[in-house]
Amino acid sequence: MITLVTGGNRGIGLEVGRQLADLGHTVLLTARSLEAATAAASRLGPAAHPLRLDVTSQENTERVAAEIADRFGRLDALINNAAITYDTWQRAVDADLDVVREAAETNLYGPWRLVQVLLPLLRKSRHPRIVNVSSEAGSLAGMGGGTPAYTASKVALNGLTRMLAGELRPEGILVNAICPGWVATDMGGPGGRPVVAGAAGIVWAATLPDDGPTGGFFRDGRPLPW
């Protein structure tokens, strides 16, 4: 299996790469800088291939697609993990809309761009999977105020997940949104659960069997309310 992880140089993305490498996947470990990608890949061993990818860049994304096409000819799983701006300092009533827009560039348009550009390679896989790493912050069911840039971007990512799942279901491409839970990373801060636990639910979604779910929202393999 050939699997691409965005934001693979630290946090949950790095641990997802490690778990997938242990399962025998070829892991395309991507990061905004080639140095960071190379350093992270070297920690995972020969199964990991470093690639430079800023998800806000169309040019980067197209270059990565061309490299994958040349070296592997297909992609089995795309894990949209990279995200920014857990804006605990803001409220929706007076949020800086430039910050909201910037968060969407990475957290929403990044995954959307990757799916569009990498779809021809995913279509060459026999078991294609798309995993959008979301957050329960994006669940409308229990939503109150706070973290408006982050929350709006994850709500939209969940909506994108449903649209892609609906459109790609006839082709057997499974698309799901996964919340890793509160995880002790740079974004999550101290006190969250270990990255091993947060990454496991993402790996689960990337390795679903062909009759597995699509268009769902899960944590630890169990459904979450939208």
Q: Note the residues at the interface with ligand NAP (CB under 6 A).
A: 6-7, 9-13, 31-32, 36, 53-56, 81-84, 106, 133, 135, 179-180, 182-183, 185-188, 192
Task: State in angstroms the smallest separation of the CB of 103 from ligand NAP.
Answer: 10
C-alpha 74: how far from its chain's center? 18
Nearer to ligand NAP, 72 or 182 (CB): 182
Nearer to ligand NAP, 2 or 83 (CB): 83
Residue nearest to ligand NAP (CB): 11
* Half-sphere exposure (Cβ direction) of 208: Cα atoms closer than 13 Å: 28
Active site residue 109: no
Helix (H, G, I), strand (E, B) or coil at 125: coil
3-state secondary structure string, 12-61? Answer: HHHHHHHHHHHCCCEEEEEECCHHHHHHHHHHHCCCEEEEECCCCCHHHH
Task: State in angstroms the smallest separation of the CB of 153 from ligand NAP.
Answer: 9
Task: State in angstroms the smallest separation of the CB of 96 from ligand NAP.
Answer: 18
Task: State in angstroms the smallest separation of the CB of 13 from ligand NAP.
Answer: 5
Q: Which strands, in side-by-side order, build the sheet including 2-5?
A: 48-52, 26-31, 2-5, 77-80, 129-133, 174-178, 217-219, 222-223
Nearer to ligand NAP, 99 or 123 (CB): 99
Q: List the catalytic residue out of 109, 112, 150, 218.
A: 150
**Spatial distance between the Cα atoms of 124 and 107, rounded to a whole number of angstroms:** 26
Nearer to ligand NAP, 58 or 73 (CB): 58
Supply the residues annotated as catalytic: 150
